[in-house]
Amino acid sequence: MQCLSAIRQVARLVCVATAVLACSDQTGTGVPNAPGGPGAAYGIWTPSPWDNCSKAMHDRYAVVGPDGKLYPTWHPPVDPASGCRFGHEHGRDPRGSTLYSTTGAIPFGLANEALDTWDPSGMRHEDHVGHKIEWENGVQLQRSENGQRVAIGVTCDFLTKIHQGTYSRDAFTNNLHELAYHVRCSDGTELHATIMVAFGTPGEFVRSCDKATTVAVGPATPANSPAGNGVRFIPDRACIEQYILVPPGQFSQFGQGLYEDWVSGNYLRRPDRSQLAYFDPHFAVFSPSRYFEGTRSDLTGRSMDACYEVEPNGDRAAGGNCDASTSNGANLDVSWDDPRSTLNGLVREVYFNQTVINNAAGAQVWYSDPFGGNASTTPFPGSIRQRVAALDNTRAFPLESQAFGSTRNYGGNGVHAPN
């Protein structure tokens, strides 16, 4: 077993055990030694009745972050050593990304932890299962010319980790979610950033099936959450009634009624507010397990429940996910968290758009606050280490958006909502 330094420029595993991301310390517990102790995100997952891995087995998948604290990280849905099921997934195995040799294992909750120090009144702790990784190697950047997409001769590798929970009411009001964004391109562009993204306005979202109607819900947590660029498009009851519950003889349109998209616009800025870097991926989810239901006390409607619903006029769900989840109506007992349900948010896609760096002849290592501001070349309390190439890659034209991941399904192996 080859041991690595506990604290590197970017977080990585302390020890790697034969093709498994579990780590070992001298006690043999399988958990790496972290001089800073556990971060708030570590050890918060517990198994549901559907899962047969223990909490202790899950907690072995951990990484020491650049702050010296212990964080959870990516793991497969099934533990390779024991064969037990965790019941949730974190997206694509990052070890296949060409960027992994630079990033190492991605810590889940690093920016949340930094926010605790930067602004103790603004603590924002997120659940475990919402952390999702996606990556793509060798992406040919494109622009539009005469209505056609053409390659510009630059190839990039992308690796992202977003916290995007689509099973609970959290995202109805809370716009702050952790993002790790890594890119390296053939033209010298390179950015490794971790921040708390403010997806639009706290306390509200925009109806996903019309992308126009603002739905006000209530106060966010934390109450002082800043508004940000972008928006959270989330389905609500109106989407269910329009696209899922349909008249006899029609099929439900799940791609319209149960699809959500979180659009971001993110900056690293110097203390004078000048731009150091800009990046704007967005993250879409097919068939989330919940939608907004304003008439319920918990505001949470279950997508799976809509499969069994019949409106007074006879409208009901037909085809697609509902038929797949119920074996064409034969199973009448599929709950929202049942592994048989395909309304679970397991299919997602990431849109890569612009990555602009304004750092000609500048330092390559910066420290920003958790929102990407106040970037300095020296660390400060609550800061996060960011790596930015020393160049200016500003282009006279925008890049075309490119989406990846929709053909991948991270389900099976007992994976189910909450996910």
* Tokens representing residue 244 in the block: 């899922």
**Which structural domain range is residue 213 located in?**
127-404
Helix (H) or strand (E) holding 137: strand 131-145
Express each pLDDT in 181-236 by its tens digit.
999 999 999 999 999 999 999 999 999 999 999 999 999 999 999 999 999 999 99
Express each pLDDT in 298-320 by its tens digit.
999 999 999 999 999 999 999 99
> Does residue 62 form part of some domain?
no
Q: In what order do the strands lie in the sheet with 190-198?
A: 131-145, 148-163, 176-185, 190-198, 384-388, 365-368
Express each pLDDT in 91-117 by its tens digit.
999 999 999 999 999 999 999 999 999
Q: What is the pTM of this model?
A: 0.93
Dihedral (Cα; 26, 27, 29, 35), 10-degree rounding: -60
> Does residue 117 form part of some domain?
no
> Does residue 342 form part of some domain?
yes
> Does residue 273 form part of some domain?
yes
Per-residue model confidence (pLDDT) at position 6: 34
Q: Could you tell me the pLDDT band of residue 275, with boundaries at 50, 70 and 90?
A: very high
Asked whether 186 and 307 are in contact (CB, 8 A), the reply is no
> Does residue 265 form part of some domain?
yes
> Does residue 107 form part of some domain?
no
> Does residue 219 form part of some domain?
yes
> Does residue 172 form part of some domain?
yes
Of 196, 192, 317, the residue nearest 266 (C-alpha): 196
Per-residue model confidence (pLDDT) at position 31: 85
Per-residue model confidence (pLDDT) at position 266: 98
Work out how many domains the chain is built from and give that number. Answer: 1
- Is pLDDT above 70 for 4? no
* Tokens representing residue 98 in the block: 């060409």
